[in-house]
Chains A and B, each alone.
Chain A
Amino acid sequence: MSLPRYVLRRALLGAVQVLVVVVVVFALVEALPGDAAVTIAGDNPDPAVIATLRAQLGLDEPAWLRLWDWVVGALHFDFGRSLIGPSAVSDVIASTFGPTLLLAGLTLALVIPLSVALGVLAANREGRTADRVITTSTLGLYSVPEFAMGIVLVTVFAVQLRWFPPTAVGADLLSRPAVLVLPVVVLLLRPICSLSRLVRAGMIEALRSGYVRQARRAGLSSVRVQLAHALPNAIAPAVQQLARTTDWLIGGVIVIEAIFVVPGLGTTLVEAVSARDLPVIQGLAVVLATTTVLVNLAADVVARILAPAASEAAR
């Protein structure tokens, strides 16, 4: 299959996936007990108040009609208005997408060089001290959950040593980059561990392969052999893992946002679910599903370019 046809086919499939996600999300929220009216009424569940709210929010209309209205609106990039607050869904998402994107972007920008470097280093020193240290510590760090890591780092480096601010509360992320240090470190640690181990494994395999031995015999320099011949094949599996990491990052990394008070997508999603704010949840579902589809598409294309034979075989 030619590359453009492959991309087109994957993109169409992705559009269908997004639609399915939206319908499933709608159905799941419908299945939750209570609705926005009950949630808003809260501890004062006066039936008259709940009925008025329901009518105001349009919740008394049949579910299929609400879904249809929403899909029609979404086709015009109108995701409706939040049920709870005064804002349009697109505004809610736009205002919280920035911080998440910033965190994710920074993390990705750092995770790729760092994990490739660590993986290549470990592969070259296979079985020796450097490899053992890298392998052991990445395994150890990988097993620490983010929230525990976050809290330990905040306690040590922010509250006690006072090197970095403990949270991003009230700070503008860009004008005070110091607030980004700890969250990015926490976000980096686990992906670095998984990616560097994949790079190491791929690199070891590649270094033992026939074509690398052939290139060595042909008298190519060691650096050239590694970078031009071994590495592309070694990182193809890591690229797909990187796509999953990106989904995870874009998904807001809810725990990190909570610990460090970063008002991003994850926080918005949790708030929207607990308030049964269906339009916001659906809007976020579209954004997250689209991102996931695009990122995975990009990863597959990149992996295919890096190692055509391997990805074809995997199909």
Chain B
Amino acid sequence: MAEKVLMKGNEAIAEAAIMAGCRHFFGYPITPQTEVAAYMAKRMPKMGGTYLQAESEIAAINMVYGASSAGVRAMTSSSSPGISLKSEGLSYMAGSDLPAVLVNIQRGGPGLGGIRPSQSDYFQATRSSGHGDFHMIVLAPNNVQEMFDLTVEAFELADQYRMTAMILGDGMLGQVMEPVDISRGEAASNVTKDWALTGTKGQRKRNVINSLYLEAEELEMLNLKRFEKYADVEKIARTDNYLTEDAEVIIVAYGICARIARNAINEARKKGIKAGLIRPVTLWPFPKNQLKTAAEKAKAFVVVEMSMGQMIQDVELSIRCSRPVHLCSRTGGMVPTPEAVLEAIENAAQAERS
């Protein structure tokens, strides 16, 4: 029977991680994600696990690097400025093909910015979460249940592909309270980690976790191999669609913006505008095929995001600019209103008619 409990988004992430078998959490406080750490600090000792408050975000991600090297499920959580600090470790983890889950509950930026919800780390998450050629899996929940479900999934995917997986939320999702069915969490698979550093016990050759390759040819070969893996990861790309069957104006939005967009779409429908929503659940890999298919029927797209326009580039690339793509955005920690989104839908529809 479904066991529903009322939880904050941040708490749902923490509980999901524990249920997914994560027993090692390394963090550093930063608003608006601190509940993840607080929850872990409370629960981990009782689960026989580790909650360790690191001296910095840099140390925290490197502790994750160490724990993941030892073959255990490990996690860290932060918010925008803290994620920037973790980018060094993320690059090293990618170079060493280490799995782990990273949470970014975004706040406004750049710099210290503010503590209000934002989606302005999209580029950082999907394009450049560190130096070098690499990607990480980026999952975007839009409610507390999904923060739970996608966290469990993130651990599975990370282990399966030996990659870091990020839960990309925002300050609003982190703080909102909703009922969550936590019975869905018991799905920890046991991927064999014969590469882990557990001590040879005199029974095998030593394992080395490393990202240094001084021979350029060797490094290129490894990068090419890693991108072959990424091509395989493309198959996990997915969306959640709402009223898209007959939609002429397609909203593309993720996270909290997608929920706001639904309200606007309902209002637009009442006014006779055929609007629908495509919500990318995976931001990397981006569901470009789904967008491409939608472009065959739709007349216009409206991207709603809390940034100066970042995901819009992926939308335009996916549909090869074959349809007009409009941006409806707020930045700096401001959240778009349903009215503003409705206006954007009306304007896009009007532009098509004229």
A and B bound? Answer: no
Chain B residues near A (Cβ < 8 Å)? none
Chain A residues near B (Cβ < 8 Å)? none
